[in-house]
Amino acid sequence: MYTVLVVDDNPSIVDIFVNMLEQGGYRVLSATSGEGALEILETSRPDVILLDILMEPIDGWQTLEQIKSGPPSMSSIPVMMLTAKPLSPEEAKKFGLSIEDYINKPITRRALYGAIERFFQRRDRMETHMQIAGEGGATPETLKEYRMLCRATDVQKRLLRILEHVAINENLEPGKYEEITSAVRDMKESLTGKNERLEVIRRQFSDLGITPDEVQR
């Protein structure tokens, strides 16, 4: 049974998500502030954190920074942002590598379960690929880079889709559309570079006798 920590400063919203997740078979911890979440994380290690952004006195991004700057037992916990706030280019650039997903509220029970289960499936699939590559002779350094690149490209693709959706569907202030489209271009260039490096590593795996079907794409 996976454990999920829900963090939102609205107790009613916390209750809704706790109920939804418990019905889905998850064990749930909850906090109504960033400070409360950090206190829980001093003694508990959930499998994933659902973290709202618009909180006081410290918001979700500040809470995320404190989580990721904590000891390894805390900083290694995956975090999914759960919020009604549209993603900004600045947030995507600054926090993109620190989160697993950016989930917009309101969200249905089915969509919430799907987002969480996709994360766990990606994580488990990656561990299998890492084991196969390690047994095939890949170096620890290559495995570490491979893991980082796979995760970064997965998240970056998701954030790109969100920013593109914001540019098309949100009522933006003057100049904001150009700002978002510029950020999208930069992210696509970065993603291209990461994918090119991934292909180099996959060719190294192939040279070790690891077949393409065994390497995540």
**pLDDT computed for residue 217 by the predictor:** 45
List the pLDDT tens digit at each of the 217 positions of the chain.
899 999 999 999 999 999 999 999 999 999 999 999 999 999 999 999 999 999 999 999 999 999 999 999 999 999 999 988 888 999 998 999 899 999 988 899 999 999 999 999 989 988 888 888 888 889 999 999 999 999 899 999 999 999 988 888 777 777 888 888 899 999 999 999 999 999 999 888 888 887 645 454 4
The CA dihedral of 105, 109, 110, 112, to the nearest 10 degrees, is 50
Are 116 and 93 contacting, i.e. CB atoms less than 8 angstroms apart?
no
Give the H or E element holding residue 170: none
Q: How far apart are CA 72 and CA 75, in angstroms?
A: 5
pLDDT confidence of residue 132: 86
Give every CB contact of residue 191 below 8 A, 6+ residues apart in sequence. Answer: 153, 156, 157, 160
CA distances (Å), 58 to each of 51, 66, 112, 144, 206, in order?
12, 10, 25, 33, 47
The residue among 8, 91, 87, 12 whose CA lies nearest residue 55 is: 8
pLDDT of residue 196: 96
> For residue 211, what pLDDT is reported?
63
Any idea what the Cα angle at residue 66 is, between residues 60 and 67, rounded to 5°? 85
Q: Report long-range pairs for 165-174 (Cβ below 8 Å, ≥24 apart).
A: 166/86, 166/87, 170/86
pLDDT for residue 209: 80
Q: How far apart are CA 6 and CA 20, in angstroms?
A: 11
